[in-house]
Chains A and B, each alone.
Chain A
Amino acid sequence: MLRSSLLLTLVVIATGCPGGSGEIGAACGNNGDCSSALQCLANRCQPRCTHAPDCGDGYACDQDGLCHQAVGHDGDRCVSETECAAGFSCRPADNADETSHLVGNCIKDHSAALAGARCASNNECRNGTCALGRCVDLCLVDSDCASGEKCWDLPSVTVSNAMLHGCLPEHGAVSFDVPVDPVLHQAVIPAPKGAASVSLVMTVDDPSLTVGATRIAAPDGTRIYNRPCASALQKCLPTEENDEYFGNPQRHTPALGQSVLSIPSGTTLPVNTGLYTVDVAAQMPDGSPSLAPVHATAVVRLDEGTALDLHFFFLDLADHPCQDTIGPQKLNASTAPYMATFQDHFLSDLSAAFTRVQISVNAASYEDVLDHPSLDGLDLSRVGDLLKLGKYATGINVFFVRSLSPAGVQAYSPNPGPAGLAGTPGSGIVIGLDTLCYRSWQEVSHLAAHEIARYMGLYHNAEIGYGPVDQPIHPTWRDQIMTDNDIGTDPAANLMFYAEPLSSGQVPKITDGQRSILVRSAVLRSGGQ
Chain B
Amino acid sequence: MSFITINNQQAVPLKSIPELGYDMFYNINTSLLEDHAERHCVLYFGYRDSGMIRLICCVADDNLHNIMVSSSVVKSDSVLNSFSAKNFAFEKFEREIHENFGIEYPDHPWLKPVRYSENRFDKSQIIKNYPFFSIDSEELHEVGVGPVHAGIIEPGHFRFICNGEQILHLEIQLGYQHRGVEQLFLDKTKLIQRTVLAESIAGDSAVGHTTAFAYLMESLGGLTQDKETLFSRTLAQEIERIAVHTGDLSGICTDVAYQLGSSVLGRLRTPIINFFQEWCGNRVAKGLIRAGYNPFPFNKHLAEKLTKILDAFEPDFVEMNLELSKLPSSLSRFERTGTLKYDQLLSIGTVGMSARMNALNRDIRISHPYGIYSEVDHEPILKHHGDVYSKVQIRKQEVLQSIAYIRKWLSQMAESDKLPELSHPQTILMSPDSFAISLTEGWRGEICHGAITNKAGELLVYKIKDPSFHNWLALALSVRNNEISDFPVINKSFDLSYCGHDL
Asked if A and B bind, the verdict is no
